[in-house]
Amino acid sequence: MDQENKRKKKLSEDDYVNGVLEGNRTILAQTITLIESNSSAHMNSAQNVLTRLLPHSGRSIRIGITGVPGAGKSSLIESFGTYLCEQGHKVAVLTIDPSSTITKGSILGDKTRMDSLSKNPNAFIRPSASGGSLGGIARKTRESMLVCEAAGYDVILIETVGVGQSEVQVRSMVDFFLLVMLTGAGDELQGIKKGIMELADSIVINKADGQNKLKANAAKAEFNRILHLLQPSTPGWSSKAYTVSALLGEGIEEIWNEINAFKDLTTESGYFSLRRQKQMIDWMYNMVFEQLKLSFMNHESVKLNLKTIESSIVNGELTATSAANYLLSIFEGNRRETL
């Protein structure tokens, strides 16, 4: 009963901060829940907690992982994460799930997809529903990442659903970006945009085992030819393709060696810290734009005029540009009357 009351006890900001810094996984999960809350009271408290945790963050390698459906991203993450834990690292996995359009909750259950890793005391897995946002990216992933770093996790893995725009957004918050592919390069290349390949610091062809091994090696050679012609995502770094078998654990060590080589090279050149600084500035502007959008859509006069203006556009009485200018003038307080 005492334990139940303790569990239900409302945590103070000190409780959140101290719990995270002590590496308490239960409080870490509760802190991320606080961050994900849309309640204004929770938002203020979350920002206070984050400000206090910020000096303890940043001491990790942040790795984004994406890939085509069926490429085995979760299996690869489980195998990779388990390997890292065995090497003495603490691994946090933040996965961005597609959201149900009805419940807004996660459709995929990442802890069931990574059963072995989720039970490892040196691993922390947090599935986050995208909330229907563009590209399936969770709005609070960046802040969750900082909290995990403050809790002592030195490797952060961020998995995306791999649906286009999400790759661009994850690239903007990680140090190293890994693209997971399947065998059969010829067929796969038809469905891949050049831009997504240009984001990758490395490509791995998964399921390189059994009868697939020869096909995987052929795919690796094909991807390496293409990567050689593309603009690298990171200045001074040459992206390469590798084969891996998440099932057998083959090629996992090679991926980690590649990531360490990347970190050494970019740290020496100064680009590692430069990229992070730019990401923080970009993050600030993204938050400004997001808050402006929320303020605009919640503006009483804008809401009052919105349906009428939408009808005027549909009926051909207003151009979209004129309508947008009209709404913005209302938002800025330069026009008060209704249309």
pLDDT tens digits for range 72-88? 898 999 999 999 999 99
Q: Give helix then strand counts, H and E, for the chain.
A: 16, 7
In the numeric block, which tokens belong to residue 60? 């990790």
Residues of the chain predicted below pLDDT 70 = 1-8, 97-113, 129-139, 161-165, 184-194, 334-339
Alpha-carbon distance of 243 to 69, in angstroms, equals 17
Query: What local confidence, expressed as pLDDT, does residue 165 receive?
Result: 65
Amino acid at the residue 239 = S
Helix axes 252-269, 271-298, angle to 10 degrees: 90
Residue 245 DSSP label? B
Query: What local confidence, expressed as pLDDT, does residue 101 receive?
Result: 40
Query: What local confidence, expressed as pLDDT, does residue 194 receive?
Result: 65
pTM for this predicted structure: 0.86
Query: What local confidence, expressed as pLDDT, does residue 182 receive?
Result: 81
In the numeric block, which tokens belong to residue 212? 């697939």
Query: What local confidence, expressed as pLDDT, does residue 70 receive?
Result: 80
Query: Can you tell me which residue has the tokens 């430069």?
Result: 274
In the numeric block, which tokens belong to residue 55? 């000096």
Beta carbons of 181 and 204 less than 8 angstroms apart: yes
